[in-house]
Every structure is written in structure tokens, then in C-alpha cells.
Structure 1
Amino acid sequence: MPIWALDSGHATEGDFYTELPVVLHAARLRQSVNAAPAAVTVIDREMIDASTATTIPELLRYVPGFQLSYKNSHELIPAFHGLADDYSRRVQVLIDGRATYSQGSMGSITWSTLPIDIDDVERIEVVRSPNAATYGAAAYLGSINIVTRGVTGAIETSSRLDIGSNERISGSVRHSGEHEELYYMLSTRYEQNSGFSNRHDDLNSAFLNFRGDWRLTTRDKIEFAIGYGNTNGETGFDGELYAPLRERKINSHYQRLSWRHINAADDEWQLSLYHNHHAVENPLSDDYPDETVAGKDIGFSSDRYSVELQRIQRINENFRLAWGAGASYDLVSVPWFYDYFDTQPVKEQEKRLQWQLFANAEWQLTPSLLLNLGISYENPDWDGSHVSSRVGLNYQVNQDHSLRAIVSRSNRPPSLYEDFSDPEFIYGDPFAPLDNDPGSETESVKTIELGYFGRFSDQRLTLDVNLFYNHFNTLILKLDDLEPDLYEKLSLYERAGLDAQISYRGEHDLLSLSYSYVKSLDSDEINDGDGSYDLVSMYVPEHILSLLYSHHFDSGWTVSSSLFHVDTVRWNYDAGNEKATTWADLKIAKSFKTAGGDVDLAITLQNVLDEPGVTLRESSNAPTKGGRQFLATLRHRF
């Protein structure tokens, strides 16, 4: 077998689904889902094609515990088990191992600017457990690794055209090939739309990506990728004092370079470097008056430089280890921010350096009992050092049934904005917890999990159940939609719940059912009359459910339907749903061959019954009226 057949970064779909799905992201080691030290959901290419999702964040609705909000049509905000506002800053998002986190964008991810299309994705691994012991503070409550389609060297060209509601039109082209020992792929995409009918959120965006693998020897190769994106869109509302109408221009680019030396499946060195650039111009609309608190350009620029060395090795037949070190250096320019909080000196650039040491070990204690140990040491220069850790036990009852028990502790230092936010500067003292600055303490959570994974019906049906308990020592909450963004600190919060996922893969059928129940636990220490407990409880919907069913006919037709349910939730003071929301999507697709290549046609109808509140962004300023969405898609591969 050639050494590259052992390359965990480029396993084929057949490798991942011959028996049980294999994940690479939970512990930096190749593991089956029933051996991972976490609850993991894998969204593979078959599920992506069957789904009614039209964007990558919408795919997360099929993962237990995730819900999705729209600040507007192009600012999508996924949240895991609630605790979300306008910025998703507690779940790490990686693209082929490159972090997309930005200190400049409020410590979160701007999904619409990521240079990746839903057709670029091979699979998505979602760790539904705190994963800071593996990937550091950004994976505080979980992590998402988006794995793009491999650079195989096969010469292939494909194109896609989408036309849909809200004047949406988009087109993309992808080409892959090889030149001697260089395997490459080039992709580009353009989209424009008029946004929601009741919002100022027009959008046009474009990106260009180039990826390559250069095989130096049978054991060494260089992987590289570069990408550029440009996005122009509108945000805000007419006549609003604290959320005025703005013209937003976003320019972003990235570069990634890595060297891999692979001796065997569990004997590998990897050195990776990447740079992310994100620049935003966010001035007021030309016809908007200047005499407001928000009367200025709240743009920024952010650069992150990162380096990481990782070693994977098998110590003996029962013990594997992944260990390494990394550092990231952030340069953020946000001079307007210090104008609001004049207790801080104005800086042209904020500089932040963070180091990380990590190790994850897998120890086969007995043929049935597997021990996973993980630890991460981080030393951010603005917060002091801290350690995140995890211990997991997986017990294999038999080849089809297993149990897991996990105990972990994760830490997250405050983002730049949380660190300097001071509500008392503008509002006085509206909340009791404001004795200290919100960013004066690191968030910390202790988690206990008990899980079960089983296979039934000739191993076509799988069931994954995870019980969890979270004890937060500190929680930093965004107050509301005002500019500038302000935060308060909650000293203690507890919750418990259950995640479950049922998946069925038949010859012609695909079924995925996910459910999540989360209960905020009443505690005398936090329910002290200041309203903080009620505030955080509103962020957490108790019940979330999603159902995907797809049937493929021998004639080439495929029919898919999705059903979603999200309980009462408020993302902040004036955005949310005051009652549970249920809606359904429908998709019809046809594949056929022509002399010029393979052609796929699809029609997707989201929110078929036009149910209100589906965007989960109801607002007294601009209430949504449901919003049935239509999309027609044409793909051509030749």
C-alpha cells in the first residue's frame, strides 16, 4: 500500500463509511465515532446533497443542540445550546484545520465572508462537547471542522448556477487537475441578493480560492492554499439611534502553508502556518444624520498570524499520542472603540499574543475499555495562563454498542471587546453584577457527560445519545443590540440536558433525526433578584428538533423534506421568538447524464407553509413575517 493511502487528511468517503464514521477532529487522532472522547456528528457529502440547506451554517440545523439566527440575510449566527447573541464566540470553526476566529469581528466568525461554498465541502465534523482540551479556548463549548473536497489530481471542471427569492443569483466554477507532482484545485464564486423584504441588507460578494498539494517524496508533501474575498452589504435600520443604516464593505484574504511527513498511519509530523486578514469599512449611510452615539465608522482591520507543530505517534500497540505547540499573533485596529470607552488610551493597533501546548492520548486499557486524556495549556498575554483538560472512558459492550463517560474543564479568556466593554460609562449601573469589568475574569465551565452509541437493523441504523451537565463559574453576556456592544458578567450559571441523534442509511433512503433538550437550573446564587438568571435562561431554547428524510428513485429523481422545531428563545432583548416555531422545507432534484457531462437540477423551497418567526430575529423595529424562500439550482460536471 502506498504511504499516501494512510494519509488521514485525505481519506476517501469509502474509508470513512465502510464500518463506522471516522473522525479526526475530536482528539487530533483518527478515531471511529464510538471511540472519540466527545459526542460527534458527521455531516457527509450524501447528507449535504440530500439536505434542504442552501448555505453552510444552515447545515448545522441538523446537528443536535444547534439553532440558527439571522441578524439579516447575510449575517447568520449559529448557536450551540443557546448562550448566543450576535457573535458566535464559544464554538471554534476550522476550515481544513485553519481557524476562522477573528478578534476584530467581536471575537466571532463572519460566515458570509468565508471563502468557501457549500459545494466545496466534503464533510463537516461537529464536536458537541467542550473541546478546549484539543483546540484551545476558541473551542470552549464545541468545535466545527469543515473538510473541503480533496485535491485528488483528477482533471474535472464543474459549474453551478443558483436563482432564487429576494433577487438571489449566484454562480460558481471549480476546476481541478495536476502538473507533474503538483495537484491543484481552483474555485470561484459570486452572489448577489436583495436580502429580507423588511430589512436593509442587500448583498453582493465574491471569492477566489486556490489549493494545492505538492508531493516532494513518498513521505513528504507541501499543502498550500490562498483565498481572497470581497463582500458589500447593508446593515441596520432607518431612523434608529443605536442601530443606524450602514454600508458595510468587507475585504478578506488568507494564506495557509503546511509540511507533512508521514511514516505510517500513526507516525506523522506536521508544521502549519497561516495568516488571516479581515478588514471592514462600516460607515453610516450617506443620507443618515451624524449626531448620534453611533455616528461614526465602526470598521476595523484584523490580522492573525499562526504557527503550529504537531506530532502523532504510536508509542505501542495500545497507546497513541498527539502532541504539539502553537502560537498566534493578532493585530487589531479599532480606534473608534476607544473613543467610546475614554478610560482607555487610544491605540492605533491592539496587539495580542497567545501560546498553546497540547497533548491528547488514547490508551487501550483492555480490549473493551478505552481511555482518552487531553490537556491544553494556554498563555494569552492579556489574561494570564490557564489549563483546559478532559478525561474520557469508552466501553465497547460489543461490536454494535458502546458507552462513554467524559469529564472536562474548559476556559475562555475574554475577547478584545469583552475585555474593554464598560456599560457604566453609558448607562450607569443597570445591573448588579457590574462591580467589575465584564472581561476581568476568564469564562470557565465544568462538564460531565454520559453517552451511548448503538447500531441496529444490519448496522444501517445508528443511535447516539448524550447526557450533559454544565457548571459555568463565569459567563459574559451581551446586553442588547445597541452600539457599541456592551457586556455584563454573570458569576454562576448551571444547566443540564440531553442530545440525541438517529441516522439511517438505506439503499435508497436517508434519515436523520436530531433532538436536544436543555434546562437552565435554578440556583440561589444566581437567582438573586437582579434578573440575570432570567436573562440567560431566555437565551436557551429548551427543545430543538430537526428531521431530514430523503428518498432516491432509480430514475434519478430525489425527493427530500426537512422539519425543524425551535422552542421559545431570545437572542437578546429585542430579537427572538416568544413562542415555539415549527417549519418545513422541501427539495426535488433530478440527475441525468448528457454527452457533455453530468447534470443536476434541484428546486428547494424553504419554510413551505410560510410560518412566522423562522428567521428567529423578530424585532419591534422590523418584525419578520415568515419568509418562504425559493432556490433553483443547476450543476454541470464535465
Structure 2
Amino acid sequence: MKTIVVRRGRRMLWAALGLASGLSGTAVQAQAPAPDSIMVASASAERDTSADMELLMAGDVMIVTASKTAQHISDSPAAVTVITAEQIQQSGATTIAELMRSVPGADVMEPNKSQANIAIRGFNNVYSNKILVMIDGRSINEDIEGNVFWNTEPLLLSRIARIEVVRGPGSVLYGADAFGGVINIITKTPMELLADGKRMSAAAAYGEHTSTFIEAANTQGKIGDWAVTVGAGYHGSKGFGDRQPDKVRDSFSTPILTVDAQKQTSRGSLAFSASNSDAKADLSVQTNVEDGNWHTNSFTLTYNEDKGPNPIMARIYRNSLQLKGSEFDLDARIVNVDLQQQRQISARHQLLYGGSYRQGEFQATPTGSGRHSENLASVFIQDQILIDSRTNLFAGVRWDNNSVYGSQVSPRLSVVRHLPKEQTLRLSYGTAFRAPTLLDTFVNYSSPLLPGVNLNIIGNTGLKPEKVSSFEAGYRKDLATGYVGLNLFYNDVTDLIGNTVTQYAPAPYPAGIPTTVQWVNQGKARAVGFELESGFSLPHGAHGLFNYAFQNVTYQNGEQVIYSPHHKINLVLNTDERRRVTGYLAAHFVGASSDPPATLRAYTTVDARLGYRVGGLANPWTVSLSATNLLDDRHSEYVDSLSAMAPSKSAEAQRRTLWFRADGKF
């Protein structure tokens, strides 16, 4: 019984919601110049994006997320994958989930057109909550379940400079929820867009299932002084169900507005960002939200003093999400303050240290009518020592103190050794934690189950965070025309949060019908695996990527963790974007996974794009035809195991979506 309870933790809550209606996340040189917010400035919009792909192939792309300091990808203390602006443009992707399918070790699950869930190295699920997702260093995870509502997030894909995906625990620098990894979406700054010479950009696409993708941005300012970018967009679809009465509701419509302003100072820069969306979206898997009204907005103010010897970063941001549905309401507001400094101790030794304070207030239908709050204070320090000309040591520790679940300490130790012939070896140990969510902690929900009997679901303010201890080994070989890499990992997971039955229905009802359940820590798991990846150049400026990931994720009794397939293979080919005719082809194989008693079959999908540039490179306009799931492989990526108890909706099989698109700058 315990195994089932641990594995199916959250589902009984969502079953209750359904029943209520149905029955009633070269070593780094010591002079690395910038803390994490400098990541925005490191993405160059001043050169054409094809240069980024060439640098990626040569191992010369600068990254910041793995250590919060600028470094070459081969110097990273963790396994990192970079998705460049060129790759985003070449793919014709309209969602982050499409881009993440090509990342080694990433698990992507789209139950239908309106919902997406992303995990790293296993443990995926609906409302996946074991990775940290950031936009320019600002967390966008929602506290009700710790997940990201991808299709209602006010994010313009055309504004992305690159996406850095760190695989493995990252709590030493980022705290809670950087459990399986970190996705940092880095956007182009207004100053970079101004230096690009094109003040206006636009993209428009129309696809099957009444799908629409529109984005535009305009930048004004004075180079070296100030710049302002205003962006707007609309992402929407009627979904695979096409809003028919007998089909799953999986539509969404998300209007987006963004404003970014940047002012250069004698010591650095001051930046302000704001984003807003008032979306209408269905959340039809494990709950009943149809035509829900989603109001999402954020405000961020960042100061970077990066022109001195010891860079300083200060950031304050506010996130807000309100959901109004027929059966489910949510109101969550977060205020977060980050401070950090990078200090050069000697030619071989530098420290990075900082702290943050976060305050959140929440109210949701399953937690009753009252508001709840949490406060989190943290400090961290990372010591980076160049032991010799070929060996770099990263040692760090972070302390987090939460007003509900108490204190957590997250250490990391990583050694990066450069070998002859452009080879790099990395050994790492680190820990991370996933904080109990709002529902884990405060849920207090009751719904009719049987005549005279309710199903009661109770939270637990005494929950401990889920924890992972990870051992990793990495190898990378940079070649003249690409690279090869291998990463091995062993993750030991403890204190998994699930629920336990504390009361059953009395006679004369049959024995074994639960009437009261409570969230508890009662599980362990283990994940072992490896990721083999390579990038290679092809004739005429074309490029290719290949990766294979194996993972074996099991509970302590040996049972497989759901939605954690053993095998994943990706092959991506794309032409030089400077050519008049461009092409992109991506094949994704995902092995079988299970949600007992059902099994999801293995599937292969193919995404493709064919583009034609109108005009010269100085004023590029491109028209293209693209497709996701080109072969219309009608596979399912989620099993609605609740449908027997709560016959609300079942997941929809994935369908092909053909797009016609135009992109340009002027």
C-alpha cells in the first residue's frame, strides 16, 4: 500500500476535485568577469546568430548559469546544454517544450495541446516540479504545485538570446526546486537589440487546429546610453480537441505584453522589465478548469555593477498569478530580493557570495478560504580555485531558512581537469532539495465521496523537503568541427512526499475505501544513467546534433518511477541560416513508460521546417513551412488514470500541426 501511496501522491487530491464535480526543476579563469545577471549582456545580438552556432560547435560559447560566473561551456562544473537563438529560429518552434525535446536527459510530456511538463533525469509528471525555471535569473515556478504553466507565461520566443539547461542539482546557487536541474531562459537586452541595427522585428504563423503565433518588438534609444524595447504577442490554439463537446478541452489563447528598459551607467547598467498576459486556457488533466482566466504579470528591477574589479548584482522582482475558473481559483504573489558579489582574492582564487529574501502569499480553492504565507531567507558562497594551469576546483554551500519547513544546507564540490588534445574531465558531488508546495503544506479539502461520506485531504506543515544527493562524472572532447561528451550520474533521493490513508469508510461500505488522507514524507528512490551527446559540422555550413540518454529511475522496492522512460534519442540537422533556402529536421525517440496499470508505448516524432529568405542578409525576411509531429504519429504522452474515479477528461493523443510562417526585421 505504501508503494502506491508514494507513487501516486498528488493524484488523490485531483481525484477529489474530479469527484466533487462528477459525483455531486580550460578551467574557468580567475578573472571571469560577471555575476549571474551579466548573463543578459553576454548574449550578443551584435553579430548574426549563425556565429553563435559556430561558437557552440567550437566549445567557445560563454555560459553563466552553472556557476553564476561567465565561463566556456567546457569549463562548467555541471553538465550544460545551450540552445542558441539560431537553433530557435531554424526550428520554427512556437513553445519551449518543442525546444526542450532535443536536450539530452530532458523529459517532455505534453498531455494535450494546452499543457506541457518538463523534467530532467526522470520524475516527470503532470505539474512537474523538480526543476527550477528562470527568465533572466527570475524564477517563474508557481508555488501551488511548484511547476510552470508554460502556455500562459508571458514570454516572447523571438526575444530569446539562448537557453542554458543545467542538468543535475543546483540548490547550492539557486536554492529550492533546483532539484533535477535548472532551465535559464536568457533574453536579448534592449541595448543588444539597439546595437543590432534593426529596430523592429516581427513573426507571424498560422497552423492547424486554429493555431496562431504572433510576436513583434520595437526598440528605441541611444547606443551606450539608454534603450527601451516594447514587445507584444499572441499565442493560441483551439487544441487537438477543437473544442468539440465529445473531445478533451485543450485550447488556450495568450496575449502577451512586455516592456524592457536599460540605462548604462559609469559602473554598469540599470534594467527594468515588466511582462503581462491575460490568458484564457483549459487545464483539463487531473482537474476541471475550462476557459479559466489566467492573469500573469511580473516586474523586475536589476542593477549590475560589472565594470569594476568586484562585480555586484542586485535584483528585486515581483511575480503574480491569478486564476479564475468555474471550480478552481488561485491567487499567488511573490516578492524576491537577490544580492551577490564576485570578489577576486588572487590571480588563482575568486569568491562568489550573496543572499536572497523571498516572501509569498497564496490562496487557492483546495486550501480553504484563508490566505497563507511563507518567508525564505538564504545565503550562499562559492569558492573557485585554479589549483594549477589545468585544474579548477569549485566548492560551495548554501543555507536556506523557510518559515514553514525550516533550514536546509546544500553543498557542492566539483573538480574540472583539462587534459591534452582539448579534453576535459569533470567529477562532481552535490545536493539539492524540492520544497513542499502550497498544496503539500496547506491543502484542506473535502468533497462528497459516498452518501454521507466525504473524502478529506489534509496538508502537513511538518513536511520536510524532498532531497537528492548526486554523484556525476563528465567527459568532453572538443574537435575542430564539433564536440563529443559523456555524462554519468547517480542520484539518491530521500523524503519523497506522498500521502497516507488515515481513515477508511465505515461499515456497511466495503473495506478499503479511503476517506481521509494526509501528505507525509515516506519514500526513497534512485536514478542512475548517462547521456551521450555530440555536435558536428556538415558541408556548406550545416550543423548537426545527436544525443542518447539512458536513465533507470526506481523506488526503493525496485518499482519503476512513472513517466521516466529508459531510452531517449535525438537527432537534429539544420542548414546554414545565411543561405537563401534553409532546412531543419529533428527526430525524437522516447522509450516506453508506464503509469500502472497502463503503459505508454514508445514513440518517434519528426519536426521539420523549410524556409526561403526574401531579400538580402542585411534585411532578412523569411517565409517557411514547418510541422511538429510531421508523420502524425498519434501517440499519447500521459495516461489519465483518474478517469475511472473522476470521469472528467482523458489525455488527447498528439497530432500533427502544420504551420505557415513569416519572420523579418526592419
TM-score tier (shorter): 0.7 to 0.9
Correspondence for 2:275: 227
- CA distance in 2 between partners of 1:386 and 1:195 (Å): 42
Aligned to 1:518: 551
1:312-323 map, 5 Å: 312-323=342-353
1:398 and 2:420 aligned: yes
Q: In the alignment, what sits opposite 1:132?
A: 171
TM alignment of 1:15-414, pairs within 5 A: 17=55, 20-51=60-91, 53-104=93-144, 106-152=145-191, 153-154=194-195, 156-179=199-222, 181-197=225-241, 198-217=247-266, 219-236=267-284, 243-244=287-288, 246-264=290-308, 267-283=310-326, 297-334=327-364, 336-339=365-368, 347=370, 349-398=371-420, 400-414=422-436
Between the aligned partners of 2:486 and 2:469, the Cα distance in structure 1 is 20
**AA paired with 2:258?**
N
CA distance in 2, matches of 1:33, 1:543: 25
Task: Note if contact 1:28-1:360 (Cα within 8 Å) is conserved in structure 2.
Answer: no
Task: Work out the CA distance in 2 between the residues paired with 1:32 and 1:485.
Answer: 49
Amino acid in the other structure paired with 1:400: E
CA 1:617–1:60 in 2, change beyond 3 Å: closer, same or farther?
A: farther
Q: Partners in 2 of 1:142 and 1:585 — Cα distance?
A: 25
Mapped partners of 1:191, 1:579: distance in 2:
30
**How high is the sequence identity, in percent, across the aligned residues?**
20
SS of the residue corresponding to residue 192 of structure 1 reads strand
Residue 102 of structure 2 aligns with an amino acid whose one-letter code is: Y
Q: CA deviation at 1:232?
A: 0.4
Contact 2:496 2:524 in 1 (8 A): yes
Q: Which amino acid aligns with 1:495?
A: A
SS in 1 for 2:86: helix
Q: What is the Cα deviation at residue 74 of structure 1?
A: 1.9
- Range 94-103 or range 545-554, more displaced: 545-554
- 2:4 match: none
Aligned-pair CA distance for 1:245: 5.8
Q: Segments of 4+ in structure 1 off by > 3 A?
A: 5-9, 12-16, 242-245, 420-428, 434-439, 484-490, 552-555, 594-597, 614-626
Distance 1:467 1:427, change over 3 A: farther
Q: CA 1:440–1:11 in 2, change beyond 3 Å: closer, same or farther?
A: closer
- Distance (Å, rounded) in 2 between the aligned partners of 1:56 and 1:486: 35
Report SS of the residue matched to 2:190: coil
What is the CA deviation profile of residues 437-478 of structure 1, one whole-angstrom value per residue up to 9, with x for unaligned ones? 59622211111001101112x2x2111211000111222258
1:204-236 Cα deviation digits (max 9, x unpaired): 11011011111232x132111111111002333
Q: Could you tell which deviates more after superposition, 163-172 or 300-309? A: 163-172
CA distance in 1, matches of 2:347, 2:432: 30
State the secondary structure of the residue aligned to 2:488.
strand
Which residue does the alignment assign to 1:431?
A: none
* 2:471 is the alignment partner of 1:448: yes
CA spacing shift, 1:439–1:609, aligned 2, 3 Å: farther
Q: Are the counterparts in 2 of residues 67 and 79 from structure 1 also a CA contact under 8 Å?
A: yes
Aligned residues of 1:70 and 1:617 also touching (Cα < 8 A): no
Q: Could you tell me whether the CA contact under 8 Å between 2:636 and 2:651 is conserved in 1? A: no
Shift of 1:485: 11
Instruction: Give the structure 1 partner of residue 505 of structure 2.
Output: none
Q: What per-residue deviation string (whole Å, max 9, x for no partner) do you get for residues 61-90 of structure 1?
A: 111111222233122111212212211211
Report the CA distance shift for 1:24/1:234 in structure 2 as closer, same or farther (over 3 A): same
Give the equivalent residue in structure 2 for 1:291.
none
The structure, 1 or 2, with the larger RCO (C-alpha pairs under 8 Å, 6+ apart) is 2
TM-fit CA distance, 1:329:
0.3
**Is the CA contact 2:458–2:517 (under 8 Å) kept in the aligned structure 1?**
no
Q: Deviations over 1:299-337 (max 9, x none)?
A: 111100011111012111111221101010001122x22
Q: Specify every segment of 5 or more residues in structure 1 that has no aligned partner in the other structure, as ranges.
A: 284-296, 340-345, 429-433, 528-532
Moved more, 78-87 or 460-469: 78-87
Q: Which one of the candidate residues 12, 32, 40 is aligned to 1:9?
A: 40
Measured after TM superposition, the shift of residue 488 of structure 1 is 6.4
Q: Which 10-residue stretch deviates more, 121-130 or 219-228?
A: 219-228
Distance 1:625 1:85, change over 3 A: closer
Gaps of 5+ in 2: 1-32, 242-246, 451-456, 501-513, 644-648
**How far did residue 103 of structure 1 move?**
1.2
Mapped to 2, the partners of 1:596 and 1:402 lie a distance apart of 39
